[in-house]
């Protein structure tokens, strides 16, 4: 009898361990999967775009959730998967990234971010995966100003060429707004500006760069000010008769 009880105890222990292992296998821990699912495919050319659910700026957080939360039974589990594409082979894999009803992510680079959602229940059953939800994140705009010289002569004698770096992505069209001491410089809309001043002093210039590719999306970035100093004017000489 003792041997039977011992064997029964071992069997129950083994069964509980097996159930625990199966349960653990069914609910893996989400892993971090930063970056876009696909960073190499060309960006969309219109908005809305075929196969793209949303186009956002790099500074916007990705926030997605089920569209049918009212029909989800109590006790439903949520498995958010992010599709990752190997740039060298093109092979796509799905990585579990979240188990909450809602999922959010801060984009780290431009590209397509693709997600799927699977419902589950306490019995270990699961739904089919949802259609892929695709978010395209536009490249970040972080303009920096460079000047050919930080010191110029008054009375517009010399100038300083202000240029934007790094070079912006040429797949997009941009607009530029230049400001001097916080005021818009009228008529200046190119990707460079020539600073020229009549009076001495220090002037601070900035540029705001914006996307104009999609009328439904406005993304912009403003440079830090760059200071250009106009040196004091040299006194006008006079001439006198003498030895």
**Which domains can be identified in the chain, with CATH numbers?**
30-137 (2.60.40.10), 144-230 (2.60.40.10)
Residue with tokens 């222990």: 13
Average pLDDT of the residues of the chain = 84
**Are 131 and 99 contacting, i.e. CB atoms less than 8 angstroms apart?**
no
**Are 62 and 106 contacting, i.e. CB atoms less than 8 angstroms apart?**
yes
**Are 230 and 200 contacting, i.e. CB atoms less than 8 angstroms apart?**
yes
Burial (CB < 10 A; 0-12, 13-18, 19+), residue 230, is: buried
Give residue-wise pLDDT tens across range 154-170.
999 999 999 998 767 67
Helices (H) and strands (E) in the chain, counts: 1, 16
- The whole-number pLDDT of residue 214 equals 64
Q: How confident is the model at residue 109 (pLDDT cuts 50, 70, 90)?
A: very high
| Two tokens, residue 215 | 């009328």
Q: How confident is the model at residue 146 (pLDDT cuts 50, 70, 90)?
A: very high
The residue ranking higher by pLDDT, 186 or 40, is 186
Phi, psi of 233 (to 5 degrees): -65, 145
Residue with tokens 């397509």: 112
- The whole-number pLDDT of residue 73 equals 84
Give the mean pLDDT of 107-119.
Answer: 94
Distances (CA, A) of 113 to 47, 64, 163, 187: 16, 11, 32, 38
Pairing of strands 111-120, 133-137: antiparallel
The residue ranking higher by pLDDT, 232 or 27, is 232
Q: Look at residues 174, 178, 231 and name the one whose alpha carbon lies nearest to residue 205.
A: 178
Please report how many Cα atoms fall inside a 13 Å half-sphere around the Cα of residue 203, on the Cβ side: 25
């Amino acid at each position: 009898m003792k041997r039977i009880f011992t064997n029964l105890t071992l069997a129950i222990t083994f069964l509980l361990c097996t159930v625990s292992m199966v349960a653990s296998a069914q609910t893996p821990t989400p892993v971090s999967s930063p970056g876009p699912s696909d960073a190499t495919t060309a960006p969309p050319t219109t908005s809305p775009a075929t196969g793209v659910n949303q186009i956002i700026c790099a500074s916007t957080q990705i926030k997605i959730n089920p569209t049918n939360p009212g029909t989800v039974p109590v006790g439903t589990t949520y498995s958010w998967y992010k599709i990752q594409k190997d740039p060298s082979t093109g092979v796509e894999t799905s990585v579990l990234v979240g188990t909450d009803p809602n999922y959010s992510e801060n984009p780290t680079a431009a590209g397509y971010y693709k997600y799927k959602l699977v419902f589950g229940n306490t019995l270990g059953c699961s739904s089919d995966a949802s259609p892929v939800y695709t978010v395209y994140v536009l490249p970040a705009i972080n303009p920096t100003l460079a000047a050919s010289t930080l010191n110029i002569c008054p009375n517009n004698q010399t100038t300083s060429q202000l240029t934007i770096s790094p070079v912006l992505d040429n797949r997009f069209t941009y607009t530029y707004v230049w400001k001097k001491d916080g005021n818009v410089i009228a008529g200046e809309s190119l990707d460079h500006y020539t600073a020229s001043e009549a009076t001495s002093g220090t002037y601070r210039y900035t540029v705001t760069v914006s996307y104009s590719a999609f009328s439904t999306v406005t993304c912009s970035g403003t440079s830090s000010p760059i200071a250009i100093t106009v040196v004091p004017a040299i006194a006008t000489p006079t001439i006198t008769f003498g030895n």
